[in-house]
Amino acid sequence: MECYLNNRFKVSALLICLFFVLGCKDNEEQAQVDEKETLVMYQPSEMAKLMNAFYDYNQSLKASIVKGESLKPMPKDFLKIHTAQMTDANGRNATFRGFAPAFLKAQQNVLDSLSQTNLKSRYNNTINLCIACHKTECVGPIPRIKKLLIQ
């Protein structure tokens, strides 16, 4: 009886060890897979880099508008919105193609000193177009983009 119990204990202990060893191995492999996927994901597309340039430029416009300083001209490479390679190759769909020119026009209008519309509205209109385009495809950055609005 004693022997039987002892063996049973050993078998259980062995099974438990095996379970942990296999479990750990699985986790390790999964971690390596996750790491590889993360590395791939962190390679920003040409469009993603352009979007970050949109963000930085508008952040500087906001600061200048609030302080009443003169505004930096729009960087020419913003026109690349029509051609830049995207993370999702099918991303340049009808919605995107509709919003892209409207956005560029609004962005250029911010600098139009002859406009009848006040500066703050022209600027916020641009940011609202960023948000409108993002609502259909790429909702992730919306909370960050909203911070660009001038209250």
Site for ligand HEC, rule CB under 6 A: 44-45, 47-48, 51-52, 54-55, 58, 86-87, 91, 96, 99-100, 103, 129-130, 133-134, 137-138, 141, 144-145
Residue among 4 and 42 whose Cβ is closer to ligand HEC: 42
H or E, element range at 9: helix 2-41
Residues 107 and 128: their CA atoms lie apart, in Å, by 11
Residue among 12 and 60 whose Cβ is closer to ligand HEC: 60
- Minimum CB separation from ligand HEC for residue 103, in Å? 4
- 3-state secondary structure (DSSP) of residue 68: coil
User: What tokens appear for 84 in the block?
Assistant: 């830049």
- Minimum CB separation from ligand HEC for residue 97, in Å? 8
Neighbour count for residue 97 (Cβ, 10 Å): 10
- Minimum CB separation from ligand HEC for residue 132, in Å? 7
Q: Which amino acid is at 149?
A: L
- Minimum CB separation from ligand HEC for residue 78, in Å? 9
H or E, element range at 50: helix 46-67
Q: Which amino acid is at 69?
A: E
Residue among 7 and 85 whose Cβ is closer to ligand HEC: 85
Residue among 29 and 37 whose Cβ is closer to ligand HEC: 37
